[in-house]
Chains A and B, each alone.
Chain A
Amino acid sequence: MNWSDLNLMLALPEVVLLLAILAILLIDLFIPEDRKSVTYGLTLLTLVGLTAVQIVGFPAAPATTFSTMYISDPLASVVKIAMYAATFCVLVYGRQYNAARGMERGDYYTLTLFALLGMNVMVSASSFLTLYMGLELLSLALYALIAIQRDSMPGVEASMKYFVLGALASGLLLYGISMVYGATGTLDIATVARAIHAGNTNALLLTFGLVFLVAGLCFKLGAVPFHMWVPDVYHGSPTSVTMMIGAAPKLAAFVFILRILVQGLDALAVHWQGMLVLVSILSMLIGNVTAIAQTNIKRMLAYSTISHMGFLLLGVLAATPEGYSAALYYAVVYVFTSLVGFGILLVLSRKGFDCEKLSDLAGLNQRNSWYALLMLLAMFSMAGIPPMAGFYAKFAVISAVAHIGMVPLAVFAVLMSLIGAFYYLRVVKVIYFDAAEDNNEITVAGDIKLLLSLNAVALLVFGIVPDRLIEVCFAAVKQSLVLM
């Protein structure tokens, strides 16, 4: 390797993020317990700075550095900007909640930034080795964040479950990767793709490895039949951490799948398409049907996540640029919709009370009609009701599937989104037509209210004029996933 190959400028966002983490880790030591707002401010500043760096250095074409272990391309940049925005929202919405529960410690912020670093690494990895390292960095930070309330039994239990199942999934992934390595003799994703296209690889070993890779990926994404951890982890974690798990990591996992299945193993599309069809059908079915029976709203949102991951996979399994960009659009819209949903739960929680049950939302309209409206927007977007962004996202993935001739699958997806509409609308019914049982005043800081409102209004705006965002997604996918 030449040192001239080492173009650090391409990896500038990661370098900045790493230096910021180390600085915050040190500065935080000198900040007294009751003035953690300094750490909070520094963390937000880091995110704003990162977004600026990312936008200024937006790449026109894919470029690699660190001996082709790191790739900088439009897809990575778009997703990273979305992840910074999502993490920013998570930190702002969760602040009051964390402060009331003694979770507003320096570790919370540094671990969040570490998780973000792991996601960044995953998103711009161009080797199986770096993909895996990024995944471990993210997972380790998340395990600790879930258990950050050390004395809460549900949190520790959820962390333990996530840890054990996450280790199992990592094992499956590694086994799959080792098979791919055995068949192609390399870990570099582009070289793997070239070797398979050249046709002198061991097809059976590749397919064998692919099964384990898909299983590991579905585990990480939380798709049926590897979904068992999702409801327990969503339920057991503190709501602010649940929101974090449901936001940026989903985007990172999505790019993770694109890098492995589309960039590396696109020649095996025939094989993974079949597997993903099955996973997607099961996820939509089990996610939506089980969500109906939930009375705990965090569990309900967990099952709704599972079904959304099924919809997301529809776009991936279409195996066309149209499908990938639809899935990217779906992932971004889903993340910002779930942020509003969990944001409202955080707003309604207060010291000593967690808004968790469906009945806790009863009569929200009488208590505060503005938050009721925001929750209504989030639920409509999740259900995919027309003026909202969620509608266009569902429409895009379903039409991508229909365009490759899988009409029965498209019809099934429409039916499943109808079933899903039932429990989303039930939340709206509880908010608007049930009598309020809890009449405590909702006190929320102005910045949370402002950002939450902006976030919810964005769902409406991107639903009415989706062209800009879908164009960005399409351009990113087209310029990044250039097939060999």
Chain B
Amino acid sequence: MSFTSVVFYVLSAILIFSSFKVITAKNPVHAALYLVLAFVTSAGHWMLLESEFLAITLVLVYVGAVMVLFLFVLMMLDINIEKMREGFWRHFPLAGVIAAVMMGEMSLVLMRPEARLAEYTPRAALPADFSNIRELGLLLYTRYLYPFELASMVLLVAIVAAIALTMRKRKDTKFVNPGDQVAVRRNDRVRIVKMEAEKPAAAGDDAAAADQQQA
């Protein structure tokens, strides 16, 4: 077993373990930290494939920006995640059995000789001056122009959807529009109500009121 294979298996074991902990950890902050671990180990996989740029981007963008923001939010809010996923542990045994059966079946299929996995040999190492970024840039803006533009559309939908779902006018805000204040008319503020002049109460009512006071 070559050194690369050893690194691959070690990284994969850490990746599977941390992904599993992401969904089972009781403390949301721990779950987020395990997710960071998962990202870092996946970046290690990119490194093994000699895609240094993607590896660094994964760490910079996901770990450096997205997860830090996410951790901030998690620490600000006091979320009781155990309450939010009631029934998780109750259904866990059944789901676990199904997952184990699926995994067993998949590995049975893939480990058969007909899968001819041995044919997939590692490709020759790239020359030292090979530039990942250059190749990516060339492909992204030429061959993969269309999917690249579509990805930008997906991001735009995400923005529109996030705004549509979260932006609301607050009812308790004290903001007043100065334009409305200037444009106000007397009729908007003062209402003159005509009322009948009050008549002196009848003698019987007075007696009743006095009774009530005594009681």
Contacts and interface: CB of A to CB of B under 8 A. Distances in A.
B95 to A, nearest CB: 12
Interface stretch (B53-61, B65-73, B141-149, B177-185): B141-149
Contact of A117 (B116, B120, B153): B153
A147 B161 CA distance: 10
A150 B168 contact: yes
Interface string B117-150: 0011000000000000000000000111111001
B109 interface: yes
Task: Name the 7 nearest CB pairs between A and B, nearest first.
Answer: A144-B161, A107-B164, A66-B146, A133-B150, A204-B114, A1-B142, A69-B146
Contacts of A66: 145-146
A405 B144 CA distance: 44
Q: How large is the interface on A (under 10, 10 to 19, 20 to 34, 35 or more residues)?
A: 35 or more
Interface of B: 106, 109-110, 112, 114-116, 119-120, 142-147, 150-151, 153-154, 156-158, 160-161, 163-166, 168
Interface stretch (A77-85, A135-143, A236-244, A466-474): A135-143
Nearest to B155: A140
Most buried by A among B114, B160, B166: B160
Interface in A334-359: none
Contacts of A127: 147
A114 B164 contact: no
Contact of B147 (A129, A147, A150): A129
A148 B164 contact: yes
Contact of A144 (B114, B119, B156, B165): B165
Given A111-B160, A137-B157, A130 B145 contact: no
A67 B161 contact: no
B151 A133 contact: yes
Given A66-B146, A130-B147, A208 B110 contact: yes
Nearest to A205: B115
Given A69-B147, A105-B164, A137-B154, 5 more contacts: A1-B143, A107-B164, A121-B150, A141-B157, A141-B161
A443 interface: no
Contacts, number: 82
A308 B160 CA distance: 33
Nearest to B145: A66
Given A130-B147, A136-B154, A182-B120, A208 B109 contact: yes
Nearest to B143: A67
Contact of A133 (B106, B119, B154, B168): B154
Contacts of A137: 150, 153-154, 157
A143 B146 contact: no
B150 A140 contact: no
Given A130-B146, A203-B114, A140 B164 contact: no
Contacts of B106: 208
B157 A140 contact: yes
A67 to B, nearest CB: 5
Contacts of B147: 69, 127, 129-130, 133
A144 B161 CA distance: 6
A7 to B, nearest CB: 12
A42 interface: no
A202 interface: yes
Nearest to A207: B109
A61 B146 CA distance: 21
8 contacts: A107-B160, A111-B160, A121-B150, A130-B150, A133-B154, A137-B154, A144-B157, A204-B116
A202 B146 CA distance: 29
Nearest to B153: A137
